[in-house]
């Protein structure tokens, strides 16, 4: 018989205080389409662990899970899944409407935006910032994010925590509307009030034990009726194989992540840009300093404009890339936002491309503002000989595209470190880049260190990025910082580092996924 969720011999063990504790032990469960499962158990019994395993946030030690026949690792499985998690907060700088629209872009056949807002009773709050919501309104937002993709399975992990009596009743009213559509619902709740509220909806109660990791299942009359209905459908399907074979391609076409990845990319990129331009520190540090650099250099050293603007912009672009965007990733991770994204069909490649694309747009604006401000300053100078030249375009390409591996490494730093400790990692990373930025470092260190220091620097991406900047900026600092004449070698090295950075970022992302 076709099932919505199939769990076979599922086991999960944690190491707590250097002792192994088995949370789930050989769990077996078949959840039918249209079921309402109430998952209960004491604290530490493995309820949230089971949800994380179903959502693909963790991997089991033993056993398997299938969602409509697909592994939780398969992005196609997440097309049919909507989840409300505990301890997840929306990101700053987005309104309720923008947050829901972002999640809508991840799915091929989502609910209409206005319909989702109305279902979740957020019409009066849609233009408020998502972070300003509290209590029942915040839960309504998480419910909207869970259902906007029009999922077949809805998972609710303690959805009524900290809600008032009225907000709790309103929430379950929303869930009832979803249940009437024949969707599968898995709800976790400690509240007896919740259990009474949804008693008529529940098909089975699954209770986990925190002593042995085993499962107790209690069936209710609604389950037997649903089982009979599914059995009848199965018999009809077997008797009409031709109709069944025609329906399958349609389902496959709707579940192909490739058909909506471009849509997801633009949705994610749009939101990334919105957040960047609503963050005052990013605007001041990035665009503000770029403008000041262009004006100051043109006013004080117009004859060295090309070399000085190239060096200053290169340093500024890397600094903003690593400091601002790495911190943003870490902040989203600490808030639990990245966990919310990982239970959607949004692929790692699409997500990373949007993050990098955001910085490329920002870096392009920084270089453009520097040149425009330099031109503006020249209009007030009688001695200025400023003119638009091809090297400005070439330098812009090098500054923007050459920073891609650093943007990806910045992404990885945000995943490796928490916000409070990330600043030290960023300082160390920036220091490493500063001492190797195209310089002939062997000229700056003691004689005994010259051989190996020079060899190490030649392999670093900052050296090759700096060499390309020196090439376009015509920077000449005797034997310390000057172009060596091998521009194609430096370009190839940066391409290689981009691949390495991408592989490292994927490993870091996967590592976070495995740790849950």
| 389 pLDDT above the threshold of 60 | yes
Among all chains, which residue has been given the structure tokens 């992005």?
75
Of residues 491 and 370, more confidence is placed in 491
Residue 155 is predicted with a pLDDT of 94
Q: Is the pLDDT of residue 498 over 90?
A: yes
CA–CA separation, 509 and 309 (whole Å): 36
Q: Does the residue 256 lie in any domain?
A: no
Separation between Cα atoms, residue 368 and residue 118, nearest integer Å: 43
- What domain range is 137 assigned to? 81-151
Domain edge (last residue) among 151, 167, 188: 151
The alpha carbon dihedral of 170, 174, 175, 179 has a sign of positive
The total domain count for the chain is 3
Q: Are residues 292 and 438 in the same domain?
A: yes
Instruction: Using pLDDT thresholds of 50, 70 and 90, give the confidence band for residue 402.
Output: confident
Q: What is the pLDDT of residue 304?
A: 74
Beta carbons within 8 Å of 459's beta carbon, 6+ residues apart: none
Task: Provide mean pLDDT across the span 159-172.
Answer: 81
pLDDT of residue 297: 74
Grade residue 94 by pLDDT with cuts at 50, 70 and 90. very high
CA–CA separation, 149 and 106 (whole Å) = 8
* pLDDT attached to residue 359: 86
Which residues contact residue 417 at a Cβ distance below 8 angstroms, ignoring those fewer than 6 apart? Answer: 330, 425
Domain membership flag for residue 254: no
SS3 79: coil
Confidence of residue 256 (pLDDT cuts 50, 70, 90): low
Least confident of 33-47, 125-139, 467-481: 467-481
The pLDDT, as a whole number, for residue 446 is 54
- Same domain flag for 129 and 188: no
Residue 64's pLDDT band (boundaries 50, 70, 90)?
very high
Statement to judge: residues 31 and 142 lie in one domain: no
Domain boundary among 151, 169, 197: 151
Identify the pLDDT of residue 395: 84
Q: Looking up tokens 């972002």, which residue turns up? A: 102
* CA separation for the pair 470, 463 (Å, rounded): 10
Q: CB-based burial of residue 93 (10 Å sphere; 0-12 exposed, 13-18 middle, 19+ buried)?
A: middle
Q: Which residue has the higher pLDDT, 77 or 308?
A: 77
Report the CATH number that the domain containing residue 73 is assigned in CATH: 3.40.50.300
- The answer to whether residues 490 and 404 belong to one domain is yes
Residues 290 and 234 in one domain: no
The answer as to whether 163 is a domain residue is yes
With respect to residue 356, please indicate whether it lies within any of the assigned structural domains.
yes
Q: What's the predicted TM-score (pTM) here?
A: 0.85
Considering the domain architecture, whether residues 319 and 413 belong to the same structural domain is answered as yes
* pLDDT score at 478: 63
> Above pLDDT 70, what percent of the chain?
86
Q: How far is CA 70 from the centre of its chain?
A: 22
198: tokens are 């949804």
Q: What pLDDT score was predicted for residue 215?
A: 84
Whether residue 53 sits in one domain with residue 8: yes
Is the domain of 438 the same as that of 508? yes
pLDDT tens, 285-311?
A: 777 878 887 777 776 676 677 777 787
Model confidence at 212, in pLDDT bands (50, 70, 90)?
A: low
Within-domain flag for 250 = no
Q: Which of 41-50, 205-214, 333-342, 390-399 shows the lowest per-residue confidence on average (mean pLDDT)?
A: 205-214
For residues 372 and 476, state if they share a domain.
Answer: yes
* pLDDT at 411 > cutoff 70: yes
Least confident of 51-60, 61-70, 94-103, 427-436: 427-436
Please tell me the least confidently modeled range out of 257-271, 339-353, 432-446, 489-503: 432-446
């Amino acid at each position: 018989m076709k099932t919505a969720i199939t769990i076979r011999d599922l086991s999960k063990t944690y190491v707590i205080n250097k002792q192994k504790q088995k949370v789930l032990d050989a769990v077996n469960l078949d959840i039918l389409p249209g079921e309402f499962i109430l998952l209960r158990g004491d604290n530490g019994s493995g309820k949230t662990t089971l949800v994380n395993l179903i959502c693909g946030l963790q991997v089991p030690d033993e056993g398997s899970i299938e969602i409509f026949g697909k592994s939780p690792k398969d992005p196609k499985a997440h097309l049919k899944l909507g989840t409300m998690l505990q301890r997840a907060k929306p990101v700053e700088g987005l309104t309720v409407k923008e947050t829901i629209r972002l999640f809508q872009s991840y799915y091929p056949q989502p609910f209409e935006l206005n319909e989702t807002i109305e279902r979740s009773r957020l019409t009066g709050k849609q233009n408020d910032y998502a972070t300003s919501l509290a209590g029942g309104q915040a839960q309504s937002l998480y419910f909207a994010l869970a259902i906007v993709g029009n999922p077949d399975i809805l998972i609710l992990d303690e959805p009524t925590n900290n809600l008032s009596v009225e907000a709790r009743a309103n929430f379950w009213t929303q869930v009832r509307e979803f249940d009437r559509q024949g969707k599968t619902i898995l709800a976790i709740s400690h509240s007896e009030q919740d259990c009474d509220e949804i008693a008529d909806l529940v098909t089975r109660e699954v209770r986990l034990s925190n002593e042995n990791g085993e499962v107790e299942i209690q069936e209710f009359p609604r389950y037997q009726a649903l089982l009979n209905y599914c059995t009848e459908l199965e018999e009809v399907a077997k008797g009409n194989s031709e109709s069944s074979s025609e329906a399958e391609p349609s389902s496959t076409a709707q579940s192909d992540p490739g058909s909506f990845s471009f849509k997801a990319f633009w949705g994610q990129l749009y939101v990334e840009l919105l957040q960047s331009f609503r963050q005052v520190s990013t605007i001041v540090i990035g665009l503000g300093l770029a403008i000041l650099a262009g004006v100051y250099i043109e006013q004080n050293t117009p004859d060295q404009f090309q070399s000085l603007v190239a060096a200053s912009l290169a340093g500024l672009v890397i600094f903003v890339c690593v400091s601002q965007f790495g911190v943003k990733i870490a902040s989203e991770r600490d808030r639990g936002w990245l966990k919310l994204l990982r239970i959607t069909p949004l692929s790692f490649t699409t997500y990373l491309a949007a993050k990098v694309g955001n910085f490329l747009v920002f870096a392009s604006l920084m270089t453009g503002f520097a040149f425009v401000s330099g031109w503006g300053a020249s209009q007030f100078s009688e001695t200025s000989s400023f003119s638009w030249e091809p090297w400005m375009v070439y330098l812009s390409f090098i500054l923007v595209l050459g920073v891609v591996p650093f943007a990806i490494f910045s992404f990885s730093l945000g995943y490796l470190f928490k916000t409070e400790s990330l600043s030290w990692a960023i300082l160390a990373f920036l220091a490493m880049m500063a001492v190797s930025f195209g310089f002939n470092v062997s000229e700056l260190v003691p004689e005994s260190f010259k051989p190996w220091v020079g060899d190490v620097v030649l392999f670093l991406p900052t050296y090759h990025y700096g060499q390309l900047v020196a090439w376009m900026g015509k920077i000449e600092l005797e034997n310390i910082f000057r172009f060596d004449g091998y521009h194609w070698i430096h370009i190839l090295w940066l391409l290689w580092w981009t691949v390495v950075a991408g592989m490292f970022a994927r490993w870091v992302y996967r590592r976070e996924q495995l740790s849950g």
